[in-house]
Amino acid sequence: MKKLLLSATVLFALGFMSCSPSPVGTWVEPAGNTEEQGFTLNKDGSASSVNMGYVEFKNWEKNGDLLILKGNYLGSSKREFSDTMKVENITKTEMTLSQAGYSVTYSRK
């Protein structure tokens, strides 16, 4: 009985430690002397931009440690895009994404 209880406790602890916070929410980064900018990831898989008039986010998905954002670039040459970024770190208050050697840390709003 003690072994069963110990095994259950260890499995529960490992499962709890491996759970990372959800990326659902609004994530922003300071934009210098202007307004903060970023994106909102909704539970239903839809997404929207925050103070980014040149980008229209449509949807998102998480696949392992990858975050995939899809949408449209706006302006003179409108086109669809799909950006795949690695989630380097995510906490309740911050998320660091990297792509092609460049990383950005966003704050949860």
What CATH number is associated with residue 89?
2.40.128.280
Q: How far apart, in whole angstroms, are the C-alpha atoms of residue 23 and residue 15?
A: 18
Taking residue 3's Cβ as centre, other Cβ atoms within 10 Å add up to 7
Answer whether residue 4 is part of any domain: no
- The total of structural domains in the chain comes to 1
Q: Are 39 and 29 in contact (CB under 8 A)?
A: no
Answer whether residue 26 is part of any domain: yes
Tokens found for residue 13: 């602890």
- pLDDT at res. 10: 40
- pLDDT at res. 32: 72
pLDDT tens column, 49-107: 999 989 999 999 999 999 999 999 998 889 999 999 999 999 999 999 999 999 999 99
Give me the residues paired with residue 34 across strands: 31
> Who's near 28: CB < 8 A, 6+ residues apart?
36, 37, 38, 50, 51, 106, 107, 109
Answer whether residue 63 is part of any domain: yes
- pTM here is 0.79
Structural domain boundaries, residue 37: 22-108
pLDDT-derived band at 7, boundaries 50, 70, 90: very low
- pLDDT at res. 85: 98
Cα 14–Cα 20–Cα 23 angle in degrees, nearest 5: 165
Whether the per-residue pLDDT at 16 is higher than 50: the answer is no
DSSP category for residue 33: T
- pLDDT at res. 35: 86
